Structure 1
Amino acid sequence: MSKRVLIVDDSSIMRKMVRKNLESGGHTILGEAKNGIEAIELYRSLKPDVVTMDVTMRDMDGFTAAEKILASDPNARIIFLSNLDKDKYSENAVRLGSLGYIKKHNAKEMLALIESIRIK
């Protein structure tokens, strides 16, 4: 089932790569944010099915943004995409209530996780 996705990453190159991977899987990109502040604003206005969230960004990092999004909508579905050490950061991602922590270049795993999400 096609999902409506908000992409959050400070790198325009990475946003483009994630967009390409998601669109090739049949998903719709509702918007893109380059930091956590924009992510919160766009989440509220766009109401995406899923958010892909980078960890390290200027102005507001991904963990802080996810915490704020989940505080306002406990049903938010957030997947962290990062090239940072998975062992070091995935525990924090899970603690926050995200659906997972995936390496940015692992398109297959990202698509599989997004496709497994059930939308009510």
Structure 2
Amino acid sequence: MNVLVVDDAAFMREILKDILSESGFHVVAEGCNGVEAVTLYKRLKPDLVTLDITMPEMDGIEALAAIRRHDPHANVIMCSAMGQKRLVIDAIQAGARDFLVKPFNKNRVEEAIKKVMCV
């Protein structure tokens, strides 16, 4: 399964890429803001996107909405250091399939992917 990882923090992308690789997933690309997320999604059409909420240029909720307008069936898991109820609700209402809170837990990441992708 091809995964696009988008987060403005390079170390967070590395952590998530390591978890995904160890779990047998292929990271096809990574981005550092919402604009890159939308561009890379349209170009690569990954099976799954992990998308940070708080990013420069275009935040994750806006990027999620743009991706879902392009592909209503896009599988997106939102990520945030702020596990606030309002952000979770906003993300789900915008079309996110699940929500991960940083720091990432390998078992929770795998659980979210299995839930979203029915693997």
TM-score clears 0.5: yes
Q: What SS is found at the alignment partner of 1:29?
A: strand
Q: Name the structure 1 match of 2:64.
A: 66
- Cα deviation, residue 7, structure 1: 0.2
Amino acid at match of 1:16: E
In 1, distance between residues paired with 2:74 and 2:23?
Answer: 21
| Identity %, equivalent residues | 34
Superposed counterparts of 1:41-120, under 5 Å: 41-104=39-102, 105-116=104-115, 117-118=117-118
In 2, distance between residues paired with 1:29 and 1:70?
Answer: 20
After superposition, what is the alpha-carbon deviation per residue over 1:29-50, rounded to whole angstroms, capped at 9, x for unaligned? 0100000000001001111000
Give the stretch that moved more between structures: 27-36 or 86-95: 86-95
In 2, distance between residues paired with 1:18 and 1:61?
Answer: 19
Q: What SS is found at the alignment partner of 1:75?
A: coil
Q: What SS is found at the alignment partner of 1:48?
A: coil
In 1, distance between residues paired with 2:113 and 2:83?
Answer: 21
Structure 1 spans left out of the alignment, 5+ residues: none
Task: Report how many residues are paired.
Answer: 117
- Cα deviation, residue 85, structure 1: 2.5
Q: Name the structure 1 match of 2:27.
A: 29
Aligned structure 1 segments of 4 or more residues deviating by more than 4 angstroms: none
Give TM-score, length-normalised by structure 2.
Answer: 0.93
Structure 2 spans left out of the alignment, 5+ residues: none
Distance change (3 Å), C-alpha of 1:21 and 1:27: same
After superposition, what is the alpha-carbon deviation per residue over 1:81-115, rounded to whole angstroms, capped at 9, x for unaligned? 11113312110111011111111222211111212
Q: RMSD of the TM alignment (CA)? A: 1.2
